[in-house]
Structure 1
Amino acid sequence: MLVLLPPSETKALGGSGAPLDLDLLSYPELNPVRGKLVDALVDLAGDVPVSLAALGLSERQAGEVERNAELRRSPTLPALARYTGVLYDALGLGDFTKVEKARAFARLAVVSALFGVVRGGDPIPAYRLSGGSVLPAVGPLGAVWRPVLEPVLAGADGFVVDLRSSPYTSLARIPGAAVVRVVTEDAKGRRNAVSHFNKAHKGRLARALVTSRAEPADLKGLIKVAAKAGLRIDATGPAAADLIVLSS
Structure 2
Amino acid sequence: MLILLPPSEGKATRRRGAPMRLDRLGLAGLNAAREAAMAALAQASARPDALEVLGVGASLADEVRANTRLESAPALRASELYTGVLYEALALGQLDPASSRRAARQVRIFSALHGVLSLGDRLSPYRLSAGVTLPGLGNVTSHWRESLSLLDAEWADELLVDCRSGPYRSMWRPVDRSRWVTVDVPAASHFAKHTRGLVARALVQHGGRFSRPQQLLEALDGFSPSLSGSGAGGWQLTVVAPQ
Fold in common (TM above 0.5): yes
2:226 equivalent to 1:234: yes
Aligned to 2:167: 167
TM-superposition CA deviations, 1:21-70 (whole Å, max 9, x none): 112111110000000111111222222x3211111112221111121111
Moved more, 57-66 or 123-132: 57-66
Aligned to 1:21: 21
Alpha-carbon distance in 2 for matches of 1:221, 1:130: 33
SS state at 1:14 partner = coil
Aligned to 2:201: 207
Aligned to 2:80: 81
Alpha-carbon distance in 2 for matches of 1:54, 1:120: 29
Alpha-carbon distance in 2 for matches of 1:244, 1:210: 17
TM-superposition CA deviations, 1:134-161 (whole Å, max 9, x none): 1112110122111111332453142111
SS state at 1:18 partner = coil
Question: Alpha carbon RMSD of aligned pairs, Å?
Answer: 2.0
Amino acid at match of 2:238: L
Aligned to 2:124: 125
Aligned to 1:143: 142
- The offset of 1:73, in angstroms, is 0.7
Aligned to 1:92: 91
Aligned to 2:215: 221
Q: How many residues align?
A: 236
Structure 1 segments unaligned to the other structure (5+ residues): 184-192
Alpha-carbon distance in 2 for matches of 1:16, 1:123: 14
SS state at 1:197 partner = helix
SS state at 1:142 partner = helix
Amino acid at match of 2:224: R
Residues 85 and 190 of structure 2 are in contact (CA less than 8 Å); yes or no, is this contact kept in structure 1? no
Aligned to 1:4: 4
Alpha-carbon distance in 2 for matches of 1:109, 1:17: 24
Alpha-carbon distance in 1 for matches of 2:66, 2:37: 15
Structure 2 segments unaligned to the other structure (5+ residues): none
Runs (4 or more) in structure 1 with deviation over 6 Å come to none
2:238 equivalent to 1:243: yes
Amino acid at match of 2:32: P
Equivalence map 1:33-72=2 (5 Å): 33-47=33-47, 49-72=48-71
Residues 37 and 113 of structure 2 are in contact (CA less than 8 Å); yes or no, is this contact kept in structure 1? yes
Amino acid at match of 1:144: H
- The offset of 1:17, in angstroms, is 5.4
- TM-score, L = length of structure 1: 0.88
Q: Percent identity?
A: 38
Aligned to 1:198: 192
SS state at 1:81 partner = helix
SS state at 2:182 partner = strand
